[in-house]
Homo-oligomer: A and B are copies of this chain.
Amino acid sequence: MLAAMQAEKIIGIVGGVGPFAGLDLQQKILQETTAARDQDYLSVISISQPGEIPDRTAYLLTETAVSVNPAIPITRQLLTLERAGAQIAGIPCNSAHAAPIFDAIRSGLQQAGSQLTLLHMIDEVARFLRQHMSGVQRVGVLSTTGTRLARIYPAALEPAGFTVLTPSETVQTELIHPAIYDPEYGIKANGRATAKSRSDLLTGVAALQQAGAQAIILGCTEIPLALTESQIDGIPLVDATRVLARALIREAVVAGS
């Protein structure tokens, strides 16, 4: 828990990626703050305009000519957040941190002369592992197929000396991705864990554990809605959304005090 004695820099959230992940991040910012009165909580502005942002995984898988880079509307929303007062921002979507999207956001902000400090959720997870899980070397990652194929976590973790483990392609395609995206039982369609989405994700956890993972990153912001525990069978689950929430609080408070 981090105290927020004086509300300092204003936090901005691109909340529509997806809408429930945006809410979950806001909730975790409140949970990780110590406050006795309304007035003691940090300031957070959230823009959730999901209809404007194309699916990140679809873009990463098909990319190119046919589809619009989600970076374009995300950058526009970040600039709206900045005009509304935000000084620090986070994007609660792992897939949006793939280089083809995130690099375009960074350069879009730069071109617009933005002063916003945009945190990189995956780099924050790497930092968290180094600081808080020093005994861990083999890290499992559960994610969308977009995040997996874009190698977002290996790119951040392997240079820091971690070995990154992912589920087999069958488990990924038949269980993990649909647990998030299936229009019937997927988390995005229901806004919460269904029995099947949770049990399929647990199969992924067991597979990674068997492969030797010492910690498992919930590398899609919908997954913590289904796997809410902090560990399973002694293996810690690292919730990327909570890591981002703590990083945003750190920047909001440190920056101002």
Within the assembled complex, what's the spacing in Å between the Cα atoms of A36 and B39?
36
* Stretch of A14-22, A164-172, A228-236, A243-251 on the interface side: A14-22
The answer for the CA separation of A257 and B39 in the assembled complex, in Å, is: 39
Report Cα–Cα, A183/B45, bound state, in Å.
25
Which residues from chain B contact A7 at a C-beta distance below 8 Å?
49-51
Which of B19, B84, B189, B191 has a CB less than 8 Å from the CB of A47? B84
Task: Name the contact of A38 in the complex, choosing from B26, B53, B83 (C-beta under 8 A).
Answer: B53
A23 on interface, CB distance cutoff 8 Å: yes
The reply to whether the CB of A35 lies closer than 8 angstroms to some CB of chain B is yes
Using a CB-CB cutoff of 8 Å, which residues 61-103 of chain A contact chain B?
Answer: 80-81, 83-85
Interface size class of A (residues with CB under 8 A): 35 or more
As a 0/1 sequence over residues 173 to 200 of chain A, the CB contacts with chain B under 8 angstroms (1 = contact) are 0000000000100001101000000000
CA of A30 to CA of B187 in the docked complex: distance in angstroms?
A: 13
Q: Is A214 in the interface zone, CB < 8 Å from B? A: no
One of B16, B54, B81, B83 near A41 (C-beta < 8 A):
B16
26 A-B interface contacts by CB (under 8 A): A7-B49, A15-B46, A16-B43, A17-B38, A19-B38, A19-B41, A23-B26, A23-B27, A31-B191, A37-B183, A38-B50, A38-B53, A38-B55, A39-B51, A39-B54, A40-B50, A41-B48, A43-B49, A44-B48, A45-B45, A45-B49, A45-B84, A46-B48, A80-B85, A83-B83, A84-B84
A-side residues, CB < 8 A to B, are 7, 10, 15-20, 23, 26-27, 30-31, 35-41, 43-55, 80-81, 83-85, 183, 188-189, 191
